[in-house]
A and B are shown apart, each in its own frame.
Chain A
Amino acid sequence: MADGAALTEPRLVRWLLTGAALAFLGVFLFVPLALVFAKALADGFGAYVEAIREPVALAAVRLTLTAAAIAVPVNLLFGLAAAWSIAKFRFPGKNLLITLIDLPFSVSPVISGMIYVLLFGAHGIFGPWLQAHDVKIIFAVPGIVLATIFVTSPMVARELIPLMQSQGNDEEEAALTLGASGLQTFFRVSLPKIRWGLLYGVVLCNARAMGEFGAVSVVSGHIRGATNTMPLHVEILYNEYQFSAAFAVASLLALLALVTLAIKSVIEWRTAR
C-alpha cells in the first residue's frame, strides 16, 4: 500500500468508516434485494414461473419492453442531437436549452403524467379532436410511451454533453481537412469517441424507462392486460394480496436493474482503460 503512509487516520477510523458504509449498503440495498427474491420464491419455483407466465403478467412485461423499445431509441437520437448542438455550436439560448433538457428530471413524474392528460385527455386541448378521429393516446399505449419518453429524455443528453464538451472539435476538424464528408466524420470519428458515454446513457435510460411508475400510472388507466406496465402490475398484485406473484414480477425488474448495473460496470471498466 504505497499511499497507506500518507493516510493520517488511524486504522480503527478507517475500519469504522468502511464498516459503516458496508452496513448501510447491507441494510438498504442487499437485504431488500434478497428479500424480493426470497418473497418471490416463497411459494416455490413452480409458483414463481406460474406468476410470470400469467397472461396479464406477460402483457405487462410486453408493454414495458415496448415502451422501452420506443423510448430508448427516440431519446438516443434526441440526446445525440441535443448534445451535438450544445457541444459543437454557439447559439443564443444555449443555457436555456440545457436547463430545459433537465426539466423532466426536476419535475415530479406525477406532473409529467398530468400534462399529457391536460393535453390529450377528453377535456384536454387536443381531446375533442382526438375523440372525433377516434385516436386514443391517454389510457392507451401511446400515452404510456409518451410519458416514458418524457421522463427519460434527459438521460442520454446529460451523459453526452459534458463528454463532448471536454473532447472538443480537434479531431473532427482534422478529418474534415483530410477530405472526409460530414457523415463519414460523424460515423468514423465522432461516434467512436463518444460510444461508451452513449452506451452508458442508453443503459441508464433503459433502466428508468422500464422502472418508471409515477408518470405512467397517471396516464395508464390501469386496464389489466392492456395498459399496465410491470411496475404498475407489481402494485396491483400486491394490493390483491398475491404477494409471491407481486414479488415474482418485482424480481424480474430487480434482475433488470442488476443486469443494468453489470453493463454499467463493464462500460466504466472499458472507459477507464
Chain B
Amino acid sequence: MRNMRFLPAMMIGALLWTGSVHAAGIKLLNVSYDPTRELYQDVNGAFAKSWKARTGQDVAIQQSHGGSGKQARSVIDGLEADVVTLALAYDVDAIANSGLIAKNWQTRLANNSTPYTSTIVFLVRKGNPKKIKDWDDLARPGVAVITPNPKTSGGARWNYLAAWGYALHKFGNDPNKAKDFVAKIYKNVPVLDTGARGATVTFVERGIGDVLIAWENEALLAVKGEMGAKGDFQIVAPSISILAEPPVTVVDKVAAKHKTTQVATAYLQFLYTPEGQEIAARHYYRPRNEQVAAKYAAQLPKLQLFTIDQVFGGWAKAQQTHFADGGVFDQIYGAGR
C-alpha cells in the first residue's frame, strides 16, 4: 500500500477545499423554525438587494431550520446565530436566560418584536369526510388528529394552547373540564412529530390522520398545492383560535462578536417595511401593516383570535403550567397512553 504516504496530503487538501467554500462579504446566520423556509428564502434575496443599494455591501444570509425549541437549544449550545426568528417568545427567552440576548429584547422592535403573525387552523382531506367544523370534532372518538410534540415544536405549543383557550371559553373557564377536553384531543393523536413541518409531511405525504392542526401558513401552503398535491385538502377555520406571534431578535453577543449588529438589526427591520410585509403575506403570514393586510384579506380572513397574554398570562406562565416536566401536557399525554 504505497499510497498510504499520500494520506496526509489528501487530508490537508480536503481541509483547504472546505476552506475555500466561504466567500467574502458580510455573512448573517438566521436560525429559524420549521415552516419559514420559503418565507426567508425570499426575504433574504430582497434584503440583500436593498442592503446593497443602501450601503454597497454584499450580504449573504445563511439559514438553519428545525423545531423552534430545538433551534433555541442549538443557539444556547453555541450555534452562532446573528438573528433568531423563532416560533414563540418563550424560546427566545430561553436564549436570553443564557445571557446571549438582552432581557428586554421583546421591546426592541414594534409589535412585541413580531413583524408578522399567524394563527392555528385545521387542514382536512378533500370534502371533509369526517365533517370537522370546530375543536369539539377533534375530541370525538375515531378522529385521528395530527399535531407535533409541544415539547420540541413551537407550532405544537400554539396548537395546544389554541385548543385549551377554546375549551376554557366553552366550559366557562373551568380548568378541569378544559383539561379533560384537551386530553381527549391528544388521545386521538397517533404520532407526535418533533416539528411542524414533520407533522405536515406525515399528514400530506404519508396520508396519516383525518385532521392536521397546523399553522395557517402551512395549511395554505398545502391547499395551494405547493406540496405537490393540489386540491386534495381544504382548510377549516375553528370558531376561536389563538393569535400566534412568532418573534424575531438579534442575538446580541454573537452579533457583537461577528460585528454584524447593524446589518442584523436592519435585516429584522426590513421585515416591517411594506416590501417585507408583502413578502410575509405572499407566504401566507398575517402582516402587521394594515394596507398589506387589506390587500390579502381574501386568503387571510378575519377570525376570532385571542392572545396568549389574555388567556394564559404570557409565555412564561403558560410554559410553566403546561409544558414543563410534569406539567399539564405530561399529565394528559401520559394518561392517554
A→B interface (CB under 8 Å): 59, 62-63, 65-66, 69-70, 73-74, 76-77, 117, 120-124, 127, 131, 134, 136, 138-139, 141, 187, 191, 195, 198, 221-226, 236, 238-241, 243
Contacts and interface: CB of A to CB of B under 8 A. Distances in A.
A131 B78 contact: yes
A69 B11 contact: yes
Given A223-B62, A224-B64, A226-B21, A241 B77 contact: no
Question: Chain A interface secondary structure, helix, strand, loop or mixed?
Answer: helix
B29 interface: yes
A69 B14 contact: yes
Given A66-B18, A73-B7, 12 more contacts: A123-B77, A131-B78, A136-B78, A138-B77, A138-B78, A139-B78, A139-B80, A222-B65, A224-B62, A236-B65, A241-B226, A241-B228
27 contacts: A62-B21, A65-B14, A69-B11, A69-B13, A70-B15, A73-B11, A76-B4, A121-B77, A124-B77, A131-B78, A136-B78, A136-B80, A138-B77, A139-B80, A141-B18, A187-B1, A198-B1, A221-B64, A222-B64, A222-B65, A223-B63, A224-B63, A224-B64, A225-B62, A239-B37, A239-B201, A240-B38
A176 B13 CA distance: 37
A99 B257 CA distance: 44
Nearest to A130: B78
Nearest to A68: B14
Contacts of B228: 241, 243
B197 interface: yes
Contacts of B80: 136, 139
Interface centre among A65, A122, A127, A138 (most CB of B within 10 A): A122
Nearest to B18: A66
Contacts of B321: none
Contacts of B7: 73, 76-77
Query: Which 10 interchain pairs have the tightest Cβ spacing?
Result: A122-B78, A121-B77, A69-B14, A73-B7, A139-B79, A221-B79, A241-B227, A222-B64, A66-B14, A223-B64
Interface residues of B, number: 35
A226 B23 CA distance: 11
Contacts, number: 87
A243 B15 CA distance: 31
Contacts of A74: 11
A48 to B, nearest CB: 17
A224 B30 CA distance: 10
Contacts of A77: 7
B222 to A, nearest CB: 9
B66 interface: yes
Interface string B217-237: 000000000111000000000
A238 B78 contact: no
Contact of A63 (B10, B18, B76, B201): B18
A69 B10 contact: yes
Contact of B78 (A66, A121, A236): A121
